Amino acid sequence: LSERLTGVFDQITGRGSLSEKDVDAALREIRVALLEADVALPAVKDFVKRVREKAVGEDVIRAVAPGQQVVKIVHDELVHLLGGEGEPEGLHLEGEPPVAILMAGLQGSGKTTTSAKLAKRITETQRKKVLVASLDTRRPAAMEQLAQMAERAGVASLPIVKGQSAVEIAKRAMSAGRLQGYDVVILDTAGRTSIDEEMMGEAAKIAEIARPRETLLVADALTGQDAVETARRFDERLKLTGLVLTRMDGDGRGGAALSMRWVTGLPIKFLGTSEKIDGLDAFDAKRLAGRILGRGDIVSLVEKASADVDQDKAEKLARKMAKGKFDLEDMRDQLKQLQKMGGLSGIMGFLPGMNKAMKGQMASAGFDDTMLKRQEAIILSMTPAERAKPDLMKASRKRRIAKGAGVEVPDVNKLLKMHRQMADMMKKMGKKGAKGGMPGMPG
């Protein structure tokens, strides 16, 4: 998204407030980006309208590039739409035990996996006694699947009795829950490949018996528009209380989440982030907004950067990078900025220009937060000439520098190697266009 936007936003500079024309141009691009992220059209329209109202006439903040400012407005509105910044709404499990949680959703959406994950999570974080029960009489091995996952997670599961209907199992689960003193009973239902009346009817009956405190719709984040229709239909019949989006570890941008939230108004409660039992995250609106925007958490980075980073230096460095120049003095500036912005680990994940290979390269070069200060000390022990032309460094100079910084010569060598790698990387990023390559650096 931001690559698209850069072009538009480069033209909005130095004016007192964001004009209607500027904002509209930007919003056209945002519209496309949201559609590409699989957000449903009505939701997109509504969203764009809201952002427009907010953005037009807004004072241009001098410290940030106007483009970044609009991205921030878009982002904030996304966060708002997704449920706001506060604590994510957890599960409501108050009431007379056993409290039931009903898991609904299409086949393969991740209900069984999520049931086991939730059971483990509730057991561990709330110290409650949890029982899981599979009501899936459709798929031959479905009940065994849940029982096995529960066992691995160290959670109790209802003994399997063949030949019972889903409704009968639900009754048995609730009475077992009562008799055996469980706080929570998680009911994992059967899904279908698509919604049909029979499934809905069955689910409604189960709900009547178990009177679930939570009815969670489990949906696959990778399914786009269909998810919205699914959510609508389930919500009509089941009085859903929340959404769980699975496969957030996949390539999808999570636009479906936004659409489902928009259509149902339901809180998104959890995100499934792997096939493993611990792969369940509490929902975080800010993080998902960043993902839908396609720039990770670039927005908060912008917030920090605009407050802390010396704009002049950043500009100078951006120009040098574009020319493929990056000396040790630049590296020192860079190290300082990294420290200001929460350290390297806080930033690496979010740089759009930084791919896995580059990250690996930096990690293998021993470039981590604890080293930042030491690196700076080494550079400070060099003369300006040495900083400008690291190639000139001879053994005697290295010894002097090491002594000055209180380190060993291999540390100096390491730093020089790291600098060469960074310079290489900068060159690559510079070639891709210095634009948006690094935070706080205007294109």
Output the smallest distance, CB 192 to ligand GDP, in A.
10
Percentages of the chain per state (helix, strand, coil), in multiples of 5: 55, 10, 35
In which order are the strands placed within the sheet that holds 214-220? 156-157, 130-134, 184-188, 99-104, 214-220, 242-246, 268-272, 280-282
Distance CA 335, CA 337 (A): 5
Distance CA 79, CA 38 (A): 17
Output the smallest distance, CB 138 to ligand GDP, in A.
9
Output the smallest distance, CB 191 to ligand GDP, in A.
5
Interface mask toward ligand GDP for 286-325; x: CB under 6 A: ----------------------------------------
246 binds ligand GDP (CB under 6 A): yes
- Looking at this protein, which amino acid is placed at residue 363? A
* Number of residues engaging ligand GDP in binding (CB under 6 A): 17
191 in a labelled binding site: yes
Is the CB of 112 or the CB of 246 nearer to Mg ion? 112
- Contact between residue 409 and residue 399 where contact means Cβ atoms under 8 Å apart: yes
Distance CA 173, CA 100 (A): 10
190 in a labelled binding site: yes
112 binds Mg ion (CB under 5 A): yes
Distance CA 17, CA 73 (A): 14
- The tokens for 255 are 């636009």
Stretch that binds ligand GDP, among 24-32, 232-240, 241-249, 378-386 (CB under 6 A): 241-249
Planar angle of CA 203, 208, 210, nearest 5 degrees: 90
Q: Which of residues 332-371 bind Mg ion (CB under 5 A)?
A: none
Stretch that binds Mg ion, among 110-118, 239-247, 248-256, 290-298 (CB under 5 A): 110-118
246 contact, one of Mg ion, ligand GDP, none, CB 5-8 Å limit per kind = ligand GDP
157 binds ligand GDP (CB under 6 A): no
What distances in angstroms separate CA 404 from CA 328, 383, 386, 389, 397, one per listed residue? 16, 11, 14, 19, 11
Determine which residue in the list 29, 70, 75, 111 makes contact with ligand GDP, applying CB under 6 A: 111
131: closest CA among 210, 241, 216, 247?
A: 210
Is the CB of 112 or the CB of 375 nearer to Mg ion? 112
105 contact, one of Mg ion, ligand GDP, none, CB 5-8 Å limit per kind = ligand GDP
Which spans in 225-382 are helix H?
Answer: 226-238, 255-264, 285-293, 298-308, 311-322, 328-340, 343-348, 356-364, 369-380
Determine which residue in the list 249, 308, 327, 333 makes contact with ligand GDP, applying CB under 6 A: 249
272 contact, one of Mg ion, ligand GDP, none, CB 5-8 Å limit per kind = ligand GDP
Distance CA 412, CA 38 (A): 49
List residues near ligand GDP by CB under 6 A.
105, 107-113, 191, 246-247, 249, 272-275, 279
List residues near Mg ion by CB under 5 A.
111-112
From the annotation, which residues make up the binding site?
Answer: 105-112, 188-192, 246-249
From the annotation, which residues make up the binding site for GTP?
Answer: 105-112, 188-192, 246-249
